[in-house]
Amino acid sequence: MTVYLDHAATTPILPEAAAAMTAQLTAVGNASSLHASGRAARRVVEESRERIARALGCRPGEVVLTSGGTESDNLAVKGLYWSRRGQDPRRVRILSTPIEHHAVLDPLQWLASEGAKVEHVAVDRLGRLDVEAFRHAVESDPESVALVTVMWANNEVGTVQPLAEVVEIAHAHGIPVHTDAVQALGQLPVDFAASGVDALTITGHKVGGPYGVGALLLRRELQLTPLLHGGGQERDVRSGTIDPPAIAGFAVACELAVARQPELATRLDALRQELVAGVRRVVPDAVHNGDPATGPDHRLPGNVHLAFPGCEGDSLLMLLDARGVECSTGSACDAGVPQASHVLLATGHDEEFARSSLRFSLGHTSTEADVAAVVEAIGPVVERARGAALSTRAGRPGRPGRAGRAGRSDRSGATP
């Protein structure tokens, strides 16, 4: 039996979403065509857009459909920067955090190579943005800030960011705020209007929808420079032929994720606490990363991020996988060499600690039996991984620290 605890990477599609998608797969018609088949396809898209808008507290015209989280993040970060910079050449600064997903960090790095001044405001030991440092960064020269991008909840350690305070500080100076809410939707209450943000990223396969579809919720009055040019679809913001079957499945998944969120959060938080307690009972020196508190202002209910001192996370991952337990590491591999998690490094941990972590992420199919399987397997797995690490260190005394890129993760939050 396989125990799947990598829901933050992707979660199984909901039967209702699969049914909605399947019902449209044999239909013919480009939603941009004017004939009857095209109008039928357009109707599917627009009805789905309305369902997404109702579920997430926005207007249908504020739902820009995309291929997923990476495109939405790139569209928000680059599009807002170019638009704001075009309106006022002084706006060259972008404020963010060092723990963003690479779908945000890499576009920021690229923009920096093109002349933008990117500032990553510090986070604390729990992975939460330092609000006073952020306030100082904004108020030191607000006219030069093009935009702010701060994720809703961290994909690795699960800590929820103080988004309301970020919005209040930024909006006092007319600065737009983007948030990556990919991990938050379905686990935390997400309401676009109530949040006050100006742009918000979501994706389908994290909430029980299909792969390859997502959205950028974008305030109607906000100008944004498109990345793609062609047919002028999606408010002239995102050109390209749209996918009615995937969008139909995505809309159903969004509706159900929001409707079921309170019940799911309660169940996942109970499983999370059971998992943390069980692992620490077997491995007493395991370290629970992120905010230890419970609740929508603190951490994702389905996220369990643990460090195992003396182990390499990739070794733990493979040993667990051999026992039928699927999770992800808190670090990533570049050409087969484990790299330290950029999130844990940003919270003040050293590289050895940052390479020793695992992320178990719970979702709608998770059960107490899954938790019990992890607790049963983790003891011998940690013992074997520590033995292997000791042998490696004994064979190569005084080896230099590994260098390379900061720990990377794919759009899903999983690590390759």
Task: Say whether 262-395 and 15-257 share the same fold.
Answer: no
Q: What is the pLDDT of residue 389?
A: 75
| % of the chain residues with pLDDT over 70 | 92
Q: For 91-146, how does the pLDDT look when each residue is reduced to its tens digit (9 = 90+)?
A: 999 999 999 999 999 999 999 999 999 999 999 999 999 999 999 999 999 999 99
Count of beta carbons in the 10 Å neighbourhood of residue 173: 12
From the list 381, 380, 374, the residue with the least C-alpha distance to 319 is: 381
Given pLDDT bands bounded at 50, 70 and 90, which one contains residue 225?
very high
Q: What is the pLDDT of residue 254?
A: 98
Q: How does strand 357-361 pair with strand 303-307?
A: antiparallel
- List beta partners, residue 3: 325
- Structural tokens at position 150: 């701060």
Q: What is the pLDDT of residue 413?
A: 41
Q: How far apart are CA 166 and CA 158, in angstroms?
A: 18
Count of beta carbons in the 10 Å neighbourhood of residue 271: 20
Is residue 272 helix, strand or coil? helix
Given pLDDT bands bounded at 50, 70 and 90, which one contains residue 398?
very low
Q: Name the most confidently modeled range: 326-340, 343-357, 384-398, 401-415.
A: 343-357
Query: Under CATH, which architecture does the 262-395 domain have?
Result: Alpha-Beta Complex (3.90)
Contact 233, 44 (CB under 8 A): no
Where are the chain's structural domains? 15-257, 262-395
Task: Answer whether residue 178 shows pLDDT above 70.
Answer: yes
Q: What is the pLDDT of residue 135?
A: 98
Task: Answer whether residue 407 shows pLDDT above 60.
Answer: no
pTM reported for the whole predicted model: 0.92
Q: What is the pLDDT of residue 414?
A: 40
Count of beta carbons in the 10 Å neighbourhood of residue 144: 13
Place of tokens 């050449």: 89
- Right CATH for 15-257 from 2.60.120.650, 3.30.200.20, 3.10.310.30, 3.40.640.10: 3.40.640.10
Given pLDDT bands bounded at 50, 70 and 90, which one contains residue 332?
low
Mean pLDDT of the chain: 92
From the list 309, 405, 416, 302, the residue with the least C-alpha distance to 357 is: 309
Burial class (CB in 10 A: 0-12, 13-18, 19+), 206: buried
Given pLDDT bands bounded at 50, 70 and 90, which one contains residue 235?
confident
Contact 253, 103 (CB under 8 A): no
Please compute the mean of the pLDDT values over residues 310-330 and round it to a whole number. Answer: 93
Catalytic positions, written as ranges: 333
Task: Answer whether residue 415 shows pLDDT above 60.
Answer: no
Contact 371, 278 (CB under 8 A): yes
Given pLDDT bands bounded at 50, 70 and 90, which one contains residue 236?
confident
- Structural tokens at position 66: 């995309």
| % of the chain residues with pLDDT over 90 | 88
